[in-house]
A and B are shown apart, each in its own frame.
Chain A
């Protein structure tokens, strides 16, 4: 997990958070670990980036939060995907597909 994780593309973090919440409702640390897992350790999200993103997305209405108990019975704030959040995920996924395709083409061309 070298220096790469720090340079997350704008919008990528949102996409990863939304994606990781599809599987289950999770607290902040869970989301962070989930992203680490599904990206094969490429992205490590620090609390300083994670919490502002979560709060922003909650204000956008893409996710909602509630207080619950963690796996080892600690009080923790859990986040879950809302309906607009699922739509946003679809839109973001499509957009990302287009972007990655375009970038890949561009790189092959040269």
Chain B
């Protein structure tokens, strides 16, 4: 019964507040009447009786408010009324509302857009069952280099560790970076053979990860045996693109590497590991137990941990196993350790994007802070204008908390409107980022979208904004002194001290942050510019390139590989428009592999101190084709074959590092190439340096070996052309097809296009960062303008008095400008101090660039000063136009 009564009261209070209100009003009035009657009966005169009754009642409105506060549903009702009131306030001030909402929307939009990257990389779970219980085991490269802890593991180590470890019941291995030739089923329709990224996996790979195929089945244990291992599982994407989503494909054969493979399954499109893009999976053969197998590190190990085993225990276990391998095979394993990460951690580490994300998120957080500071400034200015309104509400019985809540509700409204608009902008922002993040396969495969994480983030950011922007003004307002404010009549000669100090601090911080961001972006710009306009050490124009992978099925040994190159190159030279042709293991400035080596006469050194150089295998015409100058000695010729003494060409950096001023020609060095016996080679020539990466600025020592002395199965072709290189793409394909119709050509593109692609996201991300910094500058400008305009408005009275007392217009102008410039100067000084260590930070990113840009430290502050000057000048001029008479008469 009481529950029913309560529910009834609740509904009545929420839905029929007016009925209760009228009743309450009558009751209080009647009470007042009864009190008056009582006083009259006690002998007071009528007027006196009413007054005494009013005093005893203690204020009708306050009593009513107290009753309202205890009523059931009051909380909800008052929140609703706060929102209604807030909406009315915002509608009354469309200019203020628009500026505040738009400012926050911009801040939230850039944050949400960038957070979609965080969400895509860090918050998505890898596919499969309980991925955190899967440990990825990799080797630690003692030679450091790129992602030293993500080195693959050799087959012998895989087999040994699978047997010996106590932490995992089931370990799978995968060679994720293979390539196969796919020949279209019917030659007539789909045309050219294709090189497809593939992975070779142990049969238990899918069951260890806990994923099941969309159709068909995964590998069984028999399918690693020769003869039964010609089976393949396709990715959903490949199945869709290449086989028209044909469900009857299961059980049929497709042609891979010139052999028939039976399709046994198709994986769902959700099976996708960030950073890995295999389109099909074949069984991993683990039988090759040759002497060199230990040097061939190609496997990532996926270990499903036993229940109760922690990742730390797994780490200790595999480190111990790696140490055992080191003891047993010191020659090869010296210094190599084992790294263990959970599956999600590994994917993130392997993508190497954590730092980039941190930089971007910090930047956008600064932008949001600046936006919040702006809105807080606006709110403070408005709060000053609303002091009287708040004082009246306090006088009518509203509690201080209630006032704070009401103001915060208004801020929440602004922030959520901003957040909603921001999400709309972020929707386009994300689409824009997605359209621009296509510089490589792994990147474009990242699933960027406005997902629930981004929504939650935007909601949290909006709420945070509301609190950040609103708390200071709200606290300020609730301290409003009723009497003073009702009396004051706005005659204050300047705004209250604490107000103006808070706002000054905020604007100063904004300027400091904007300057910091601008200097940082400026340095980044400069760095990228220097890289883009550097001399790479070879002529990148008029070069057509293509990748070739000679498959083991047809090109079993080095003799056949040499033969193919020997046959192909002369044919390509015959093509009209081709000036020179070369084959090379790595295209120039494309990040070649590294090789350790010894110089004859030097003593043995530990594994982690071995000398390294970039390793290239090139055909005889490589140097003239690439346009790399020969500095000393000779280049390779057709006569440097497997039958003649081994020769080597090094670059100038190699000579500088290892021979100082000696003559390197005739010296013997020994490259430590995996899979071959070590041999001494004589240095016969020195060539100019080529940048190791086109997107970097490093000159590494480089060694070149002649193709015929060290044939390789995977290489690139380079054609120097007299005209537009892409015009030769189809003659090139035809020429290759004449030699081998089933051999695919990968990445047929001009060298300059390739370099553009290698730069990857750099220019894009710099553009993005630059726009953020620019946004920060604009916002800081608006902040300065708002503050000065507000304080000028507050000081109209004072200015009028000054002018009445004889101050001239220029004096007033100067006074206001001085105030603005003071804030700007302090903010700029703080920002400069923050930005001073930036070049050191960037040294780590642009290794060897030594970005020192003193000009930037002059230009950015000047820009900020100009923006601040403009932002100050407009209100200052208005102030100097004040007509003293009318301003003083105003009140």
Contact = CB atoms under 8 A, between A and B. Distances in A.
Most buried by B among A28, A47, A76: A47
A51 B71 contact: no
Nearest to B27: A77
B6 A59 contact: yes
Interface in A12-35: 27-29
Contacts of A95: none
A61 B66 contact: no
Given A47-B56, A47-B57, A61-B1, A56 B70 contact: yes
Contacts of A77: 23, 26-27, 30
Contact of B66 (A29, A51, A60): A51
A86 B72 CA distance: 22
A19 B69 CA distance: 25
Contact of B69 (A27, A52, A67): A52
B828 to A, nearest CB: 56
Contact of A51 (B33, B37, B67): B67
Contacts of A60: 2, 5-6
B31 interface: yes
Most buried by B among A28, A29, A84: A29
A63 to B, nearest CB: 11
A74 B37 contact: yes
A52 B67 contact: yes
A59 B33 contact: no
Interface string B506-546: 00000000000000000000000000000000000000000
B62 A55 contact: no
Contact of A59 (B9, B28, B58, B63): B9
Interface string A60-89: 110000010010101111000000100000
Interface in B49-84: 56-58, 62-63, 66-67, 69-72
B33 A74 contact: yes
Contact of B5 (A29, A47, A61, A67): A61
B34 A74 contact: yes
A27 B34 contact: yes
Interface residues of A, number: 23
Given A59-B5, A59-B6, A61-B5, A72 B37 contact: yes
B396 to A, nearest CB: 14
A47 B58 contact: yes
Contacts of A58: 9
A59 B70 CA distance: 10
A47 B29 CA distance: 12
B188 to A, nearest CB: 85
Contacts of B71: 55-56, 59
Contacts of A51: 24, 27-28, 31, 63, 66-67
A91 to B, nearest CB: 13
Given A52-B66, A74-B37, A47 B31 contact: yes
A47 B63 contact: yes
Given A47-B28, A77-B27, A55 B67 contact: yes
B35 interface: yes
Contacts of B27: 28, 51, 77
Q: How large is the interface on B (under 10, 10 to 19, 20 to 34, 35 or more residues)?
A: 20 to 34
A77 B20 CA distance: 13
A76 B34 CA distance: 8
Contacts of B37: 72, 74
A48 B34 contact: no
Nearest to B66: A52
B62 A48 contact: yes
Contact of B30 (A48, A61, A76): A76
Contacts of A84: 1-2
A59 B72 contact: yes
A28 B2 contact: no
A28 B31 CA distance: 7
Contacts of B57: 47
Contacts of B56: 46-47
Interface in B618-660: none
Interface in B459-506: none
Contact of B70 (A29, A55, A70): A55
A100 to B, nearest CB: 26
Contacts of B389: none
Nearest to B31: A28
A29 B58 contact: no
A51 B54 CA distance: 15
Nearest to A75: B30
A59 B56 CA distance: 26
Given A27-B34, A29-B31, A56-B70, A46 B58 contact: yes
Nearest to A60: B2
Contacts of B24: 51, 55
Nearest to B20: A55
B26 A75 contact: yes
Contacts of A47: 28, 31, 56-58, 63
A84 B1 CA distance: 9
Nearest to A57: B70
Nearest to A77: B27
A108 B72 CA distance: 42
A4 B38 CA distance: 24
Interface string B4-27: 011001000000000000011011
17 contacts: A27-B30, A27-B31, A46-B58, A47-B63, A48-B66, A51-B31, A51-B63, A51-B67, A52-B67, A52-B69, A59-B5, A59-B71, A61-B5, A61-B6, A74-B37, A76-B31, A77-B27
The 10 closest A-B pairs by CB, nearest first: A61-B5, A59-B9, A61-B2, A52-B70, A29-B34, A77-B27, A76-B30, A56-B70, A52-B66, A51-B67
Given A47-B56, A51-B67, A84-B2, 5 more contacts: A27-B31, A28-B31, A47-B57, A51-B63, A76-B30
